[in-house]
Each structure stands twice: as structure tokens, then as C-alpha cells.
Amino acid sequence: MKRGYAFKSCNVIYGDAGRSIDRNMTILIHEKGLIEKIGKASDVVIPEDYETIDLAGEYVMPGLINAHVHLFADGKPFTLSVNERLLKFAFHHILDTKLGRNVLKKRMKRNALTALHSGVTTMRSVGEFFYTDVKLRDEIKANQFVGPNLQVSGYFLSVTGGHGAPYLALVGDSPWEARRNVRINVKNGVDLIKICVTGGVTDAKTVGEAGRLQMTEEEVATICEEAHKIGIRVAAHVESTEGVRIALKGGVDTIEHGAEMDEEIIQLYKNNPKALKGYTAVIPTLQAGYPSAKLDTSLTKLNATIKENSRLVYDSMLKGLQQAIEHDIKIGVGTDAAMSFVTHYDIWRELDHLIRQTKLNTAQVIERVTKSNAEILGIDHLTGTIDIGKQADLIVMKHNPLDNIKALSNVTMVMVNGNLIQTPSVTRIQEVDELLDTVWDSTSYEY
């Protein structure tokens, strides 16, 4: 009876930019799903009851962590100029039915598995319908199917007329109503709280609405107090400088998307006494903003309002990211997968974007999508690096991602919690890939 796996003759990238790559290594993975031993192939004795997989010089690194996803959609382009009455009808008479919920759950499971087969072994889902994300997480934990590690937030918390309201959000218009909504989400089994401090691009009807303040500092602070007293983190959708300021003063743990900073904001990121761990991290989503902001509308089929809001948000988000790197603010990696042109299998594009647009090198962006993300999500004791005693969340590639980050677009094996997927399979969305490849394959293109 097989008691574990041995990855033999592999090159190990640990997920920590401070550690160099080790070559011709063997990794032992115990049947309980933990990394048991790491050492030179010549020094490690492989037990007879372990299945040996000779990787013959392929590269092994920690599974990727996507810290900002939605599972309800797959990244196919969708128009956002939907008639409100039609949207209301579709929600109540199609989505919010037994059949609709079953279809939604199957779609979300398919998207989670797509991510896993592409090398994403951990996902933080930050806004879904009907607590379907909670159900999927629980099924994975109960070993009903092999899926990625999931952290889930259930519904957004928003305000009347706010981002995501009323269909994707619990609505509250005072600190006490906001506190009640935290309690509702917690009762339904969420791992974190997601709030919408400002408007967003997807449902903005006028230029400038995307970053407009919606929550008050008092509402944010109450949400954070309620969540933090039971050790739950708060993630804040924010797309303007003033929104970032309010969110930080309220004590959120992560800023999702982000915006340009001033000195007060820089200091609050680094030393935030109201945040659960005393600091706040930023998780930009450049690949979600870029296509809508920069590509011609003849290609994206988006209207002028969406394009301009996307441009304003993307430019400010990028500036904020560059400032965060300059001032050593904690940075994670998320893609906003589900949005138009952002699939669940192309996180490598976000990393490539980071390399092109900042001073980060490949080792540093790999650290941010593994080790740093694990630290931000509070799971670094479990995953994020290749270390003895941690979960065997691993990916295998033929080529070295430190030489070319695009190596991550073609993983040959995936392991999550010791469960091995020897022939991962991803169904790609041709229309999205072809559009984005016109950018990535053009040597003369400038962001």
C-alpha cells in the first residue's frame, strides 16, 4: 500500500526570494499530505512503499495563491450596460431558483478546478452568491472532491445603492446594520469579510462613480471591530485615494485594487493599530483593470463610461502599487478572476504585468504569489513555501519560471494537500487568450 510520494531529481524553488534554487533534489510527501523531507537526491533514501516520480530536472515550486477571485464567472467578456429591470428579473426568476443555484454551483466548482489544474492550489474568494462558496469549501474539506484550498467571504457588505448591491451584497446603512451583516456572514460560515468602501467599475453608471466613497469610517471601523474580535480578517474593495484612507482608518486588513497614496496613507499601511496584525496589505488587480482601460473598445466591446472608469482606476491603482513597492508596503497578488478577460487559469499574466510595470524581478513576484500571499491570508504556517511540515501544495514545470514567468502557463503536475494531479487539464477560452496574446506577444507594445 502506497504511503506517500517521492519527487526525485527535481529543481526546487522554495517560494522565498531569499533562498536560491536547489538542483537535483528529492522531496518526500507523506500520505497525510505533508512535506516530510527535502534533500539532495543522493542523500535521501526513498522508502519502498513510496511512489517514486522521477522528474528528471523539472522544476518544483509552491502552488500559486490567488488572493482575489470570484468563482461565479469564468472570464468571458460580458457587457455591463444591463437594463436594471432585466437584471432584477434574471436574478429572481433564473439565478435565485433551485435550478439556477444548482447551475451556479456547478459553474463555480468548474472554475475552482480550472484554477487548480492551472497551478493555483489556494484561492481567496471575495464575493459570491448564496454562500455557494462556503458549500464548495466544505465539500473540499470533507474530501468529497479534490479541489483547491478555499478561503471564502460569502456576500459583500455594501450600502444602499453601493457596489454589488442588492444582488451580491448584504446592505446596511449604519454601523449597527453593518455589524449585523458581519454576524449574518459569520453565522453562514465565512472565513473573511469583504466590504465595498467605494463604488466599482462593473456597476458604475457615470464616470467617476467607480471610486466614489460609499461607506463611512464609522461603518468600516464597526465591521472591523466585529470581525477582528473573533480573528476574522476584513478585505476592502477600494478604488480611490480617499476610499483607501477611510478603509485604513477603519482598520481593514487588505485593500483590494487600491489607489495612489499620500504620506498619511503610506504610514497607515505600514502601521495600522486597528488592523488585525498591526498592518494592512494591498492586493492590486492589474490584469482586471488593464484590458478595459487600455484596449480599444472595438476589441473589448465596452462602452465609453466603463472604459473611462477603468482607465481612472487602473492608472491610480498602478501608481499606488509602485508607491507600495517603493515604501516596502506588504503586497499580495490577486487577479479578480471572473471579470471580463480575466480567466481562472492565467495568473501568470498578472505576474508578468507586475514585472513589466514595477521594479520587481521574477523571484520577487513568485514570492508574492506564494509566501507573501500566505502571510497576508494568515495561512503561512500551512502553505506558501516548500518546507518540511507544510502542506504538499506543489506545482511542477518543465521550464524555469525564474527565467521566464510564462513557464507558469504550462504546469505538468499539480499537488494539493498531497493529492497528485498527474495530467492537469485546462479548458481555455480562445477569444480571451487571442485578445490578450496580441499584447503579450508584441515586443513593441508599451503599457
Task: Reply yes or no on whether the pLDDT at 381 is more than 80.
Answer: yes
Q: Are 404 and 19 in contact (CB under 8 A)?
A: no
Give the C-alpha separation, 374 to 62, whole Å.
Answer: 11
- What range defines the domain where residue 322 resides? 64-377
Angle (CA) 133 134 135, round 5°: 90
Q: What is the pLDDT of residues 398-428, one digit of tens each?
A: 999 999 999 999 999 999 999 999 999 999 9
Q: How far apart are the first and last CA of the chain?
A: 54
Task: Reply yes or no on whether the pLDDT at 442 is more than 60.
Answer: no
In 188-328, alpha helices (H):
217-228, 241-250, 263-270, 286-294, 297-300, 304-326
Greater confidence (168 vs 90) lies with 168
| Portion of the chain with pLDDT greater than 90, in percent | 87
Average pLDDT (106-131) is 98
Q: What is the pLDDT of residues 7-56, one digit of tens each?
A: 999 999 999 999 999 999 999 999 999 999 999 999 999 999 999 999 99
Task: Reply yes or no on whether the pLDDT at 444 is more than 50.
Answer: no
Q: How many domains does the chain have?
A: 1
Q: Are 66 and 368 in contact (CB under 8 A)?
A: no
Lowest-pLDDT range, 232-241, 367-376, 435-444? 435-444
Banded model confidence at residue 74, pLDDT cuts 50, 70, 90: very high
Greater confidence (80 vs 8) lies with 8
Enter the pTM of the model: 0.96
Nearest to 16 by CA among 414, 388, 363: 363
Greater confidence (71 vs 442) lies with 71
Cα atoms in the 13 Å half-sphere on the side-chain side of 302: 28
Banded model confidence at residue 334, pLDDT cuts 50, 70, 90: very high
CA distances from 112 to 375, 396, 399 (A): 22, 19, 25
Task: Reply yes or no on whether the pLDDT at 83 is more than 60.
Answer: no
Banded model confidence at residue 443, pLDDT cuts 50, 70, 90: very low
CATH code, domain carrying 327? 3.20.20.140
Answer whether residue 348 is part of any domain.
yes
Cell of 174: 449604519
DSSP-derived pairing of the beta strands 4-12 and 59-62:
parallel
The CA-based dihedral angle spanning residues 251, 255, 260, 262, taken in that order and rounded to the nearest 10 degrees: 20
CA distances from 241 to 201, 235, 259, 318 (A): 15, 16, 5, 12
Answer whether residue 328 is part of any domain.
yes
What is the pLDDT at residue 302?
84
Task: Reply yes or no on whether the pLDDT at 389 is more than 80.
Answer: yes
- DSSP letter for each residue of 143-161: TSS---EEEE--SEEE-TT
Angle (CA) 377 378 383, round 5°: 90
Average pLDDT (346-369) is 96
CA distances from 172 to 51, 69, 118, 212, 350 (A): 54, 24, 38, 17, 33
Q: What is the pLDDT of residues 143-197, one digit of tens each?
A: 999 999 999 999 999 999 999 999 999 999 999 999 999 999 999 999 999 999 9
Answer whether residue 405 is part of any domain.
no
Task: Reply yes or no on whether the pLDDT at 267 is more than 80.
Answer: yes
Banded model confidence at residue 77, pLDDT cuts 50, 70, 90: confident
Q: How many Å is the Cα radius of gyration of the chain?
A: 21
Nearest to 122 by CA among 99, 162, 149: 149
Answer whether residue 248 is part of any domain.
yes
Contacts with 20 (C-beta within 8 Å, 6 or more apart), sequence order? none
Cell of 82: 444591463
